Amino acid sequence: MLAADFISFADRMDRCWMEGRLPELAEFLADDVVFVAPGGTPRSEGLAPAVKSYRQFMSHARENRFQTGDHVVTIRGDTAIVEYRWQMDWTAAGADHAESGRELLVLARRDEGWRVVWRTQISQ
């Protein structure tokens, strides 16, 4: 895969959770994926907890705007790192929120194709 393919991969994965197609996240996330929250905790391991984190957010929040940019892709053999800037506005519990940061995805080539094995966000 080329850098553009990895950027498309990240974009398609983001659309899954934003459009509520959470079961389709299994096409992007490894069974043993690790999610690390900004600051290092909490940390979860496994596909089910990862999907649950998206489900929990989407159950109480309405995404109003989500933009990404400044993608950087590093490919080394069977490992790829996709990093990008994001900005999001959402409403939860009647209050508007805005946040921005950088997403960091580590992908590994597995038998079933490329999968995210590690993810974190760096808040700005």
Give 12-44 pLDDT, tens digit per residue.
Answer: 999 999 898 999 999 999 999 999 988 888 899
Domain that holds residue 114: 3-123
Total domain count, the chain:
1
The domain that holds 53 is classified in CATH as: 3.10.450.50
* Phi, psi for residue 33 in degrees, rounded to 5: -60, 145
| CA-closest candidate to residue 33, choices 121, 122, 123, 120 | 120
Mean pLDDT of the chain: 93
